[in-house]
Amino acid sequence: MTAIRTQVVPDSGVKTAAPALEPLLSEIHEAGRAGRHVRGSEDADALIPNEFRRRASLDLPEITEPQVVRHFTHLAQLNYAVDTGMYPLGSCTMKYNPKVNDRIAALAGFAEIHPRQDDDTIQGALRLMFELQELLAKLTGMDAATLQPAAGAHAEFTALLVFKAYHSKRGDAARRRRVIVPDTAHGTNPASAAMCGYTVTTVKSDSRGNIDLASLKAALGDDVVGLMLTNPNTLGLFEERLREVCDAVHNAGGLVYGDGANMNALLGVARPGDLGFDCIHINVHKTFSTPHGAGGPGAGPLCVKAKLEPFLPHPRITRDTDGSYRRGPTPPDSIGRVRSFFGNFGVLVRAYTYMRTLGEEGLAEASNDAILAANYLLAQLRDSYDVAFDRPCMHEFVLSASRQRKQGASALDVAKALIDEGFHPPTVYFPLVVPEALMIEPTETEPRETLDAFAAAMVRVAERAKTDPASVKAAPLHAPLARLDEVSAARYPRLRWQRPT
Ligand SMILES: *Cc1c(COP(=O)(O)O)cnc(C)c1O
Q: Which residues contact 144 (CB under 8 A, 6 or more apart)?
A: 133, 137, 303, 304, 306, 308, 309, 312, 316
**Residue 402 domain-assigned (yes or no):** no
Q: Peptide bond preceding 315: is omega within 30 degrees of 0, i.e. cis?
A: yes
What pLDDT, on a 0 to 100 scale, did the predictor assign at position 57? 81
Question: Which has the closest alpha carbon to 163: 278, 274, 301, 262?
Answer: 278
Mark whether 67 and 175 lie in a shared domain: no
**Residue 323 domain-assigned (yes or no):** yes
Decide whether any atom of ligand 1 lies within 6 Å of the 235 Cβ: no
Q: Which amino acid is at 493?
A: P
For residue 216, the CA-to-ligand 1 centroid distance in Å is 23
Question: Which has the closest alpha carbon to 388: 375, 406, 407, 401?
Answer: 401
Mark whether 51 and 130 lie in a shared domain: no
Mark whether 49 and 148 lie in a shared domain: no
Residue nearest to atom 15 of ligand 1 (CA): 91
What pLDDT, on a 0 to 100 scale, did the predictor assign at position 210? 97
Residue nearest to atom 8 of ligand 1 (CA): 152
DSSP E strand boundaries for 290-448: 302-304, 317-319, 325-327, 386-387, 397-400, 427-428, 437-440
Which contiguous run of DSSP H or E holds residue 414?
Answer: helix 411-420
Decide whether any atom of ligand 1 lies within 6 Å of the 290 Cβ: no
| Residue 15 β-bridge partners | 8
CATH (domain of 115): 3.40.640.10
**Residue 154 domain-assigned (yes or no):** yes
68 within 8 A of 75, measured Cβ to Cβ: no
Decide whether any atom of ligand 1 lies within 6 Å of the 298 Cβ: yes
Count of the separate structural domains present in the chain:
2
What pLDDT, on a 0 to 100 scale, did the predictor assign at position 436? 98
Residue nearest to atom 2 of ligand 1 (CA): 261
pLDDT along the chain (501 residues), means of 10: 37 42 89 77 80 86 93 90 93 93 96 95 97 97 97 97 98 96 96 97 97 98 98 96 97 98 95 97 93 79 98 94 94 95 91 96 97 98 95 97 98 97 96 97 97 98 98 94 89 83 74
Q: Which residues contact 191 (CB under 8 A, 6 or more apart)?
A: 153
Domain boundary among 358, 380, 414: 358
Question: Which has the closest alpha carbon to 160: 147, 178, 143, 135?
Answer: 178
What pLDDT, on a 0 to 100 scale, did the predictor assign at position 53? 87
Q: What is the position in ligand 1's atom list of the atom closest to the CA of 283?
A: 7
Decide whether any atom of ligand 1 lies within 6 Å of the 261 Cβ: yes
- What is the rounded CA–CA span in Å between residue 446 and residue 95? 8
For residue 283, the CA-to-ligand 1 centroid distance in Å is 7
**Residue 73 domain-assigned (yes or no):** yes
Q: For 91-241, where are the alpha helices, taking DSSP H only?
A: 99-105, 108-111, 123-140, 152-169, 188-195, 213-219
Mark whether 108 and 208 lie in a shared domain: yes
Mark whether 33 and 132 lie in a shared domain: no
Q: Peptide bond preceding 431: is omega within 30 degrees of 0, i.e. cis?
A: yes
Q: What is the position in ligand 1's atom list of the atom closest to the CA of 234?
A: 13
Residue from 160, 181, 283 whose mutation best tests the ligand 1 pocket (most atoms within 8 A of CB): 283
Q: What is the position in ligand 1's atom list of the atom closest to the CA of 298?
A: 7
- What is the rounded CA–CA span in Å between residue 347 and residue 97? 12
Residue from 89, 184, 259 whose mutation best tests the ligand 1 pocket (most atoms within 8 A of CB): 259
- What is the rounded CA–CA span in Å between residue 87 and residue 451? 11
247 within 8 A of 227, measured Cβ to Cβ: no
Decide whether any atom of ligand 1 lies within 6 Å of the 229 Cβ: no
Residue nearest to atom 14 of ligand 1 (CA): 261
**Residue 430 domain-assigned (yes or no):** no
Domain boundary among 294, 327, 358: 358
Domain boundary among 325, 358, 391: 358
**Residue 5 domain-assigned (yes or no):** no
DSSP E strand boundaries for 371-451: 386-387, 397-400, 427-428, 437-440
Domain carrying residue 45: 22-78
Q: What is the position in ligand 1's atom list of the atom closest to the CA of 300?
A: 7
**Residue 470 domain-assigned (yes or no):** no
**Residue 45 domain-assigned (yes or no):** yes
For residue 264, the CA-to-ligand 1 centroid distance in Å is 13
For residue 247, the CA-to-ligand 1 centroid distance in Å is 25
Mark whether 117 and 50 lie in a shared domain: no
Decide whether any atom of ligand 1 lies within 6 Å of the 186 Cβ: yes
DSSP E strand boundaries for 204-313: 224-229, 255-260, 279-282, 302-304
Mark whether 35 and 140 lie in a shared domain: no
- What is the rounded CA–CA span in Å between residue 237 and residue 66? 51
Mark whether 246 and 304 lie in a shared domain: yes
Decide whether any atom of ligand 1 lies within 6 Å of the 283 Cβ: yes
What pLDDT, on a 0 to 100 scale, did the predictor assign at position 15? 39
What pLDDT, on a 0 to 100 scale, did the predictor assign at position 16? 39
Residue from 147, 160, 188, 284 whose mutation best tests the ligand 1 pocket (most atoms within 8 A of CB): 188
Mark whether 188 and 54 lie in a shared domain: no
pTM over 0.75: yes
Mark whether 68 and 114 lie in a shared domain: no
For residue 287, the CA-to-ligand 1 centroid distance in Å is 11
- What is the rounded CA–CA span in Å between residue 301 and residue 284? 7
Ramachandran bin of 233, using left for φ above 0, alpha for ψ from -120 to 50, beta for the remaining angles: beta
Decide whether any atom of ligand 1 lies within 6 Å of the 262 Cβ: yes
Decide whether any atom of ligand 1 lies within 6 Å of the 230 Cβ: yes
Ramachandran bin of 232, using left for φ above 0, alpha for ψ from -120 to 50, beta for the remaining angles: beta
Decide whether any atom of ligand 1 lies within 6 Å of the 155 Cβ: no
Mark whether 235 and 341 lie in a shared domain: yes
Mark whether 28 and 146 lie in a shared domain: no
Backbone torsions φ then ψ of 271, nearest 5 degrees: -110, 120
Coil, strand or helix at 432: coil
| Residue 181 β-bridge partners | 202
- What is the rounded CA–CA span in Å between residue 4 and residue 485? 12
213 within 8 A of 241, measured Cβ to Cβ: yes
Question: Which has the closest alpha carbon to 357: 288, 291, 290, 297?
Answer: 288
Decide whether any atom of ligand 1 lies within 6 Å of the 188 Cβ: yes
